[in-house]
Amino acid sequence: MNTLEVAHQIVTLCRQGKNEEAHQQLYADDAVSVEAFAPNGGNRESRGLAAIKAKGAWWRDNHVIHSASVTGPWPHGDRFIVGYQYDVTFKPSGQRMMLDEVGLYTVAHGKIVREEFFYNAG
């Protein structure tokens, strides 16, 4: 798949809530995922598909998703941007919140090799 096809496919799968399938289908084995901030003093980077899947599993296990909106993609060369808005409850605290973030993705050889998340500070 070219970059635009990868971009459309991740949007399609995430709109269906198939985030695990997106990781499996679209990510390179050595992909890197970078958060804007380190959760609880942890590492901002997850290196490798196994670590990225584990981060996704933790997130799904710890949040109730009330609604989700996925926007884009916005492509540019070998990169593209996708917007995510989630209305979630964080299970450990019971706190309900709106998450508004964008992902910047880099594609090489038809696979996502890097994703970087940006959080709304508006």
Residue 116 touching a second copy (CB under 8 A): yes
- How many other C-beta atoms are found inside a 10 Å radius of the C-beta of residue 26? 20
Q: Considering the complex, what minimum distance in angstroms separates the CB of residue 36 from a second copy?
A: 4
Q: Considering CB under 8 A, how many residues would be counted as binding a second copy?
A: 28
> Cis bond leading into 39, ω under 30°?
no
Residue 74 touching a second copy (CB under 8 A): yes
Q: Edge-to-edge strand order for the sheet containing 95-108?
A: 45-47, 27-34, 111-119, 95-108, 79-90, 63-76
Q: Which of 102, 97, 120, 115 is nearest to 44 (CA)?
A: 115
- Phi, psi (5° rounding) for residue 109? 50, 40
Question: Between 8 and 111, whose beta carbon lies closer to a second copy?
Answer: 8
Q: Which of 100, 78, 105, 79 is nearest to 88 (CA)?
A: 100
Residue 94 touching a second copy (CB under 8 A): no
Q: Considering the complex, what minimum distance in angstroms separates the CB of residue 40 from a second copy?
A: 18
Question: Between 20 and 45, whose beta carbon lies closer to a second copy?
Answer: 45
Residue 104 touching a second copy (CB under 8 A): yes
| Interface residue list for a second copy (CB under 8 A) | 4, 7-8, 11, 34, 36, 71-77, 79-81, 83, 100-102, 104, 116-122
